[in-house]
């Protein structure tokens, strides 16, 4: 995936929606708005 992006969530486990809900939803919303 040449245009793929990665993001690191410090202090988060495998279920990001539970551990970092605001940060996760912001990234998903930004991706969908492209």
pLDDT of residue 34: 87
Predicted pLDDT of residue 24: 96
Give me the pLDDT at residue 13, please: 93
Tens of pLDDT, residues 1-34: 998 999 999 999 999 999 999 999 999 999 999 8
Q: Would you say the pTM of this structure is higher than 0.85?
A: no
- What single string gives the DSSP state of each residue in 5-31? -----TT--S-HHHHSHHHHHHHHHHH
């Amino acid at each position: 995936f040449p245009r793929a992006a990665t993001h690191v969530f410090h202090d988060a486990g495998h279920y990001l929606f539970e551990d970092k809900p605001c940060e996760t939803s912001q990234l998903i919303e930004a991706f969908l708005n492209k």
